[in-house]
Chain A
């Protein structure tokens, strides 16, 4: 079966190809008769007069949108009537649901039927029930509240003896289920993993996969069952488990390396045809399973030579096996090629994969050609030579009539761009933009062109002209960081004063001529860029009169389509330019017009223009020309306003309150309005930043009077764009790295260009004209210019990217910005809100392969796997270390069971006696002694062993110390710790030493909080062997208050403010004040500071703000205020439960004593 399209009719095995179209023709004319003749199992049951039949006939006969609307509205009314009727049977209900599904799939909401869908799932039988479930899954989204009503039905069906009902329930669960209700059905689903029927086991695995997707924590404990599913004797169940593994491995490839060999074995069996024949698709064994396995293997083999070596053989076999001429084998081959290029390289495999890509690219089948280009795009970063091999094909694809082929080729070219071929490639990209001007392509390609231009521009003229095209084409759609970084580049300069001046001069020259042309056609963003550049640099062009520029700018103001944002940029530029008689006249005239504008920002700009144009001395001070980019001194505390403030206060004005306090009061005023609190603040912030954005060059004059101080403090007003401190957002990783390197700019010979290029490219470059009309030669030439530099590049660098070429525009390394990596997060003056598109594109560019995720910390650390101990404990007991001020008391023993697998490396110790408790402290390591430790408490004892423990609070950690006194000759003592709240890690890196007999051994662990709880607990087990070799174990647990993990956090009030807004978990409570003579607030805060180690940030009047962190680096902020004899405390933290736990301890601390 060769071409897919030719294959289409074949699939209809023994019937004429045109059957379906025939049927549609007939439908329109003779539906009833056709239906009665129809002997299909489903449709036979429907009489032509049924309601559903009527609806379908109605739909097929529709001719206009208007008719459709009328029909569906009528239908909805009729459905609504019937569903609520008590006489409707389940069978009718099923039909009604199908009709409702029809209406919804045409885009008409039938929300009244949702509840009935749930009812149908509840009460129906067989297919009716299934349709009920189906309707629910189609109608509701995962967060719909009605979904809760489904839980009971699912529960019932999961317990049903009818396997079909169990199946249905599992199917709907794996499609959607309310996250919070998972615990209710989890045990039932888990149980199904052992069901004798494969279909039930398979669906249970898929349901667990869904749970993993929506609530990974809930299924943490059943990871070993996933392994069992992977080893299931049924290939279907195994296949289902691969979904979970693909996800798990994506998140943490290192955690599953041990499975590499298993996946390879499975793939071997599949490829070798060991699966039942019904898994074949067109005689290819389980192709989609193969693809899934190849994806998993490429994740495991990435950057891992050992894992890769295990898979070479099977990859080789897959590449060979897949010679059969069918689409599905090509699909497998594509995945195989990707895998070969992702894992640790092996040259003969790479060769075969490259050949395979070659076959794809050269194929006459267009789908295959596309896939070949996609593969080539993927591998070309590793092996640019491969592009070279196929250069003529690529050139042909570039002119392909099918846009998608062209698009893929452009993408490929983008990846192979270097300093030599940049002009040709950028030209090709812009050319593509002109033929396919849809929004997504525009945003994507303008971003890429700007990136390339900035990275590889051969000269100033080309750079400015390319950016002009980007701005004109990208218009207001492009990512806001493009104009930002462009202006930043201009203002900061790159390499040498003279070069900077030339670039700016060229920009000015180019913009003046643009404004003389038809500025009305330019997008707003571009006009803003132009205004800024002219305002800043037009003085560089000596022959240009400021008045001329002013008049050009004035024309922009008069244009209807100019937005008020642009106008404000224009006015700003004018303010910088108004010098000399003629310009002042223009400026005065313009400011007259806008001084009465309805737009307050424009009005302000006009005011500034008016004042500054009259007072040249002031203007020179406010807007110094050629100002240094060093930030100007800004009085961020606004001390010059102190007089004004005190006057206002004296006159009865309300004192300033910080935003969080205002919000709190607002929240208190309306008892239940916690929700709007979170929302309202960002809005008010946004409105502040709008003003900021619109005044790119000036410290806003009026804002000092109205704004609040924290907001204003970052509005320092250097006369240029306020860029300092703003992170460099552009220049993606590669670029920034290079910008620091001192690489000499290599003068590049100007590449050959095809005639088509010459029109678009700059004219200043002299080159040999190529008048030859021969198309073949054209292509050759294009090829040589496109692939220039690729051949000369370093030999195949397989894993790394090709050697970076020096950048045209190297940033001056200045300030902290250029060295920090680009994050793209920091808003810069031009930007509106950061667009999500940025991120998407950024990711795309950097890596199209699967991202490597940070490894997930496992709850227990396995230092040494201990063998299973069969003997029971002599008597587990439990020690509780309670009390806020961290002393430890003994309490009732209680059994605890844990199967944590932490074995510690014992620290050596020499004392041969069995010492008494007080002596234990002498065993405490010296470095811990200075910190002071909690009382040493016994954990558990028996005739041979005695365990005690204490904890030591260090500044940045909490050390848990266990003493084991071995009073007999028992051997092979091993200690395991485990905790659901805490992260336990071994401190002492001493070599593994057995606790020698008759000695005391000290174990140290560092604890950090995983999940806050009022008291946290570590459980453990010590296992050992008696002299005769019988294994024994002892269990114990140790409880300590959360406060042991609290440390003060040093932050400034401003940092506090921003952190406060970011944190989402909070709690509030009124606590009793302590009054022992001192001022109550101070006294109370002192107690909190002393007992809980909270850090006081600031106290203002009756309010105080405090901050602390939970080890390690989990901040919690506290705001408290004396109110009606009580202390109103408000805690906030990014960590769930932390505020609640902390408030409990605050309460204890204040009540106690």
Chain B
């Protein structure tokens, strides 16, 4: 089970957060700061999984951006690690050479993409074409 997905930059600023378990708004900022601290303090050669409270964090760094996914202990960490990469590949395909700015200015679209991939903490679609289909259809509708 995936608990939440975070995109944070090296400064620790949250760029995107999606929770699949209810977490109160007031607690989120502190939780995110904690999570980021956990991941940023780790060195390159260290494991990409880290224990945090009663769940595990799976994180992956892309340039200055970290994508952190919190999973329950029963989850297969490596498969989530690759899921993150798949997500980035999808973003890359959509934005053709994605950058942190794309993500910031298109927060809604990134969320739409993520919603296609993960629902209720489960991986629901991994086929790139199918993930992007609803969004590209929306874009076409807006253009016409």
Residues of A whose CB lies within 8 Å of any CB of B are: 4-5, 7-8, 11-15, 17-21, 23-24, 27, 34-35, 38, 40-43, 46, 52-53, 56, 59-60, 62, 94, 97-98, 101-102, 104-107, 109, 125-127, 130-131, 134, 137-138, 141-142, 164, 167-168, 171, 174-175, 199, 202, 206, 209-210, 213, 236, 239-240, 243, 278-279, 281, 286-289, 291-292, 327-328, 330-332, 334-335, 366-371, 374, 401-405, 407, 440-441, 840, 844, 848, 850
Check if B63 sits within 8 Å of A199, measured CB to CB: no
Partner of B102, one of A42, A127, A164, A367: A42
Residues on the B chain within 8 Å of A174, using CB: 119-120
Check if A334 sits within 8 Å of B22, measured CB to CB: no
Residues on the B chain within 8 Å of A368, using CB: 78
CA distance A52 to B45 in the complex (A): 38
Partner of B79, one of A127, A240, A288, A848: A288
Check if B54 sits within 8 Å of A20, measured CB to CB: no
Check if A236 sits within 8 Å of B127, measured CB to CB: yes
Known interface pairs A23-B99, A281-B82, A402-B46; A210-B138 also in contact (CB < 8 Å): no
B105 shortest CB reach to chain A, Å: 4
Q: A11-B92, A42-B105, A199-B130 are in contact. List 14 more A-B contacts (CB 8 A).
A: A4-B60, A40-B105, A40-B106, A107-B29, A130-B108, A174-B120, A213-B120, A240-B124, A243-B122, A281-B86, A327-B81, A367-B78, A368-B78, A848-B74
A14 shortest CB reach to chain B, Å: 8
Closest 8 CB pairs of A and B: A20-B63, A107-B29, A42-B106, A331-B79, A331-B78, A43-B105, A126-B141, A21-B64
List residues 48-62 of chain B with CB under 8 A from any CB of chain A.
48-51, 53-54, 60-62
CA distance A138 to B125 in the complex (A): 20
Partner of A330, one of B74, B78, B99, B102: B78
List residues 34-77 of chain B with CB under 8 A from any CB of chain A.
44-51, 53-54, 60-65, 73-74, 76-77
CA distance A13 to B102 in the complex (A): 17
List residues 73-123 of chain B with CB under 8 A from any CB of chain A.
73-74, 76-79, 81-83, 85-86, 88-89, 92, 95-97, 99-102, 104-109, 111-112, 115-116, 119-120, 122-123
Check if B138 sits within 8 Å of A11, measured CB to CB: no
CA distance A35 to B119 in the complex (A): 33
Q: How many contacts between A and B, using CB within 8 angstroms?
A: 227
Check if A840 sits within 8 Å of B54, measured CB to CB: yes
Residues on the B chain within 8 Å of A109, using CB: 25-26
For chain B, the count of residues having a C-beta within 8 Å of the partner chain is: 77
A–B pairs, 26, beta carbons within 8 Å? A11-B62, A13-B92, A17-B63, A20-B65, A24-B100, A38-B101, A43-B106, A46-B105, A125-B141, A127-B108, A130-B108, A142-B22, A174-B120, A175-B115, A236-B125, A286-B126, A287-B79, A331-B81, A332-B79, A366-B45, A367-B47, A370-B49, A402-B47, A404-B49, A407-B51, A440-B54
A465 shortest CB reach to chain B, Å: 28
Check if A278 sits within 8 Å of B138, measured CB to CB: no
Check if B120 sits within 8 Å of A334, measured CB to CB: no
Residues on the B chain within 8 Å of A43, using CB: 101-102, 105-106
Check if A164 sits within 8 Å of B137, measured CB to CB: yes
Check if B138 sits within 8 Å of A291, measured CB to CB: no
CA distance A279 to B131 in the complex (A): 11
Partner of B97, one of A19, A105, A236, A332: A19
Partner of A134, one of B9, B99, B111: B111
Residues on the A chain within 8 Å of B97, using CB: 12, 14-15, 19
Residues on the A chain within 8 Å of B46, using CB: 366, 401-402, 404
CA distance A1127 to B25 in the complex (A): 50
Check if A131 sits within 8 Å of B14, measured CB to CB: no
Partner of B82, one of A46, A107, A236, A287: A287
Residues of B whose CB lies within 8 Å of any CB of A are: 9-10, 13-14, 16-18, 22, 25-26, 28-29, 44-51, 53-54, 60-65, 73-74, 76-79, 81-83, 85-86, 88-89, 92, 95-97, 99-102, 104-109, 111-112, 115-116, 119-120, 122-130, 133-134, 137-139, 141-142
CA distance A1045 to B53 in the complex (A): 50
Check if B100 sits within 8 Å of A23, measured CB to CB: yes
Check if A138 sits within 8 Å of B77, measured CB to CB: no
Residues on the B chain within 8 Å of A286, using CB: 126
Interface centre among B73, B96, B124 (most CB of A within 10 A): B124
Check if A164 sits within 8 Å of B17, measured CB to CB: no
Check if B109 sits within 8 Å of A19, measured CB to CB: no
B50 shortest CB reach to chain A, Å: 5
Query: In the complex, which residue of chain B has the Cβ closest to the Cβ of A91?
Result: B142
Residues on the B chain within 8 Å of A126, using CB: 138, 141-142
Residues on the B chain within 8 Å of A8, using CB: 60-62, 85
Check if A328 sits within 8 Å of B79, measured CB to CB: yes
Query: In the complex, which residue of chain A has the Cβ closest to the Cβ of B79?
Result: A331
Known interface pairs A288-B126, A440-B54; A27-B101 also in contact (CB < 8 Å): yes
CA distance A40 to B99 in the complex (A): 10
Residues on the B chain within 8 Å of A291, using CB: 76, 79
Interface centre among A97, A210, A402 (most CB of B within 10 A): A402
Residues on the A chain within 8 Å of B115, using CB: 134, 137, 171, 175
Check if A105 sits within 8 Å of B17, measured CB to CB: yes
Known interface pairs A43-B101, A367-B49; A278-B60 also in contact (CB < 8 Å): no
Partner of A130, one of B9, B112, B122, B129: B112
Query: In the complex, which residue of chain A has the Cβ closest to the Cβ of B86?
Result: A281
CA distance A370 to B77 in the complex (A): 9
CA distance A14 to B97 in the complex (A): 8
Check if B112 sits within 8 Å of A367, measured CB to CB: no
Partner of B62, one of A20, A59, A101, A370: A20
Query: In the complex, which residue of chain A has the Cβ closest to the Cβ of B116?
Result: A171
CA distance A418 to B82 in the complex (A): 38
Check if B13 sits within 8 Å of A5, measured CB to CB: no
Query: In the complex, which residue of chain B has the Cβ closest to the Cβ of A129?
Result: B138
Query: In the complex, which residue of chain A has the Cβ closest to the Cβ of B6?
Result: A105
Residues on the A chain within 8 Å of B130, using CB: 199, 236, 278
Check if B78 sits within 8 Å of A327, measured CB to CB: yes
Residues on the B chain within 8 Å of A17, using CB: 63
A971 shortest CB reach to chain B, Å: 52
B10 shortest CB reach to chain A, Å: 8
Residues on the A chain within 8 Å of B74, using CB: 848, 850
Check if B120 sits within 8 Å of A19, measured CB to CB: no
Residues on the A chain within 8 Å of B17, using CB: 105
Residues on the B chain within 8 Å of A840, using CB: 54
Residues on the B chain within 8 Å of A13, using CB: 92
Partner of B85, one of A11, A98, A199: A11
Residues on the A chain within 8 Å of B51, using CB: 403-404, 407, 440-441
Partner of B44, one of A5, A243, A328: A5
Known interface pairs A19-B99, A41-B95; A164-B105 also in contact (CB < 8 Å): no
CA distance A335 to B76 in the complex (A): 8
Partner of B13, one of A59, A374, A844: A59
Check if B60 sits within 8 Å of A367, measured CB to CB: no
CA distance A18 to B63 in the complex (A): 6
Known interface pairs A11-B85, A335-B76; A366-B47 also in contact (CB < 8 Å): yes
Residues on the B chain within 8 Å of A328, using CB: 78-79, 82
CA distance A18 to B97 in the complex (A): 12
Check if B89 sits within 8 Å of A11, measured CB to CB: yes
Interface centre among A14, A53, A134 (most CB of B within 10 A): A134
Residues on the A chain within 8 Å of B47, using CB: 366-367, 369-370, 402, 404-405
Known interface pairs A4-B81, A134-B108; A19-B63 also in contact (CB < 8 Å): yes
Residues on the A chain within 8 Å of B111, using CB: 101, 134, 138
Residues on the B chain within 8 Å of A206, using CB: 119, 124
CA distance A401 to B47 in the complex (A): 10
B46 shortest CB reach to chain A, Å: 5
Check if A24 sits within 8 Å of B64, measured CB to CB: yes
Residues on the A chain within 8 Å of B95, using CB: 40-42
Check if A164 sits within 8 Å of B141, measured CB to CB: yes
Query: In the complex, which residue of chain A has the Cβ closest to the Cβ of B128?
Result: A278
B36 shortest CB reach to chain A, Å: 13
